[in-house]
Amino acid sequence: MCTDPEEFLQSLLSDTLRAEPLIHLSTGQEAFMYQLVVEKDERLALPTVQQLFDQSFLSSSLKFKEVPPCLIIQMPRCGPSFKMYARIQPSMALDVTDALLDAPRSCHVCGALAEVECVDCYDVQEGLESTAYCRPCLNKVHSHRKRVDHESRVLIVSQEARDYFVPSRVRGYANGCVAPPTPPRVLMELFAVVCIQTSHYVAFVKAGSGAEAPWCFFDSMADRSECSEDNGYNIPEVVGCPGLHRWLSEERIHEILSVKDEKLLPEHARRLLCDAYLCFYQSHDTLMYR
């Protein structure tokens, strides 16, 4: 019998549904979920899933071969006891643009089509986006004495991307008629979070799509009925969580940090921030043809 949610999901997707792996990595590995592997950064008082995702992919030298239709991310914690961070803020939208293998990327400085990647330039606040440069910006940034020892690598940019995004190839750009297009960001939407406290699992599920869509809270052990001394059953409950998305916004970070005792946070916000175990993201574009 499966006791952990990741073990249950693995068994459900692989053995019962016989689904194809959701994640295809540049290393050739395939998986149904991704475990964040990071070292604790003391500068992050309230890390976001985006920051931990970027850090994990960077340190592991990983890329997605394609955008996953669904991305299940396991937080850096071990069961109900060990948590690397006391609180983690699930990111409402996960930007995977710079985690895609050979996908068009934007220069971190000017926004033009990136041609080079420098992982030594990684900034935890800016994420993987801070590692991408066009040639002119790379040379300018790395003329600084603190960056002369950085090692960069050339990105594989398709001819199609060059024809579409490079300014000199965009009709009318030379005359100032139009601005060159910028490579689009690839975003995945958060739609569920599984949380654990001791052996008690609960879930937050998004009831719709978009930033303003309502959330609901599911607790399979909200109450219990005791039929006899030796027999009883749990009573599940589903309730709405109005305003939950506000606790996931950047505007609330300072407010969350100001609350030193987690018990003073609203119940649903506390469970979401302190007990998050699995975060589920989806790509609407990929789901259209998968």
Query: Residue 1's pLDDT is what?
Result: 47
User: In the predicted model, what is the mean pLDDT of the chain?
Assistant: 87
Confidence of residue 191 (pLDDT cuts 50, 70, 90): very high
pLDDT digits (tens, 9 = 90+) for 124-169: 999 999 999 999 999 999 998 888 899 999 999 888 888 888 765 4
Q: Say if residue 174's pLDDT is above 80.
A: no
Cα gap 20→147, rounded to integer Å? 43
Position 153 scores a pLDDT of 93
In the predicted model, what is the mean pLDDT of residues 196-207? Answer: 87
Distance, in Å, from the CA atom of 205 to the CA atom of 148, rounded to the nearest integer, reads: 47
Rg (CA), the chain: 22
User: What is the tens place of the pLDDT at every residue in 98-124?
Assistant: 999 999 999 999 999 999 999 999 999
The position carrying tokens 């998050």 is 276
The yes-or-no verdict on residue 177 having pLDDT over 90 is no
CATH of domain 5-96+187-287: 3.90.70.10
Name the residue ranges covered by the structural domains of the chain.
5-96+187-287, 104-185
Q: Which residue has the higher pLDDT, 49 or 210?
A: 49
Those residues whose C-beta lies under 8 Å from the C-beta of residue 205, and which sit 6 or more positions away, are 191, 192, 215, 216, 218
| Beta bridge pairs of residue 61 | none
Place of tokens 């009831």: 207
Pairwise CA distance, residues 286 & 289, whole Å? 6
Tell me the three state secondary structure of residue 70: strand
What's the pLDDT tens digit per position in 31-90? Answer: 999 999 999 999 898 999 999 999 999 999 999 999 999 999 999 987 656 789 999 999
Residue 27 pLDDT greater than 90, yes or no: yes
Band (pLDDT 50/70/90 cuts) for residue 256 is confident
Whole-number Å distance between alpha carbons of 134 and 115: 5
Confidence at 277, pLDDT banded by 50, 70, 90? very high
Instruction: Tell me how far apart the alpha carbons of residues 7 and 144 are, in angstroms, rounded to a whole number.
Output: 49
Output the pTM of the full model. Answer: 0.89
Among the listed residues 264, 224, 217, the one whose alpha carbon sits nearest the alpha carbon of residue 245: 217
- Residue 178 CA to residue 171 CA, distance in Å, equals 8
Asked if residues 23 and 33 have their Cβ atoms less than 8 Å apart, the reply is yes
Taking 90 as the threshold, does the pLDDT of residue 24 lie above it?
yes
Rounded to 5 degrees, φ, ψ at 130 are: -75, -5
Separation of first and last alpha carbons in the chain = 30
Mean pLDDT of 204-229: 82
Is residue 213 classed as helix, strand or coil in its secondary structure?
coil
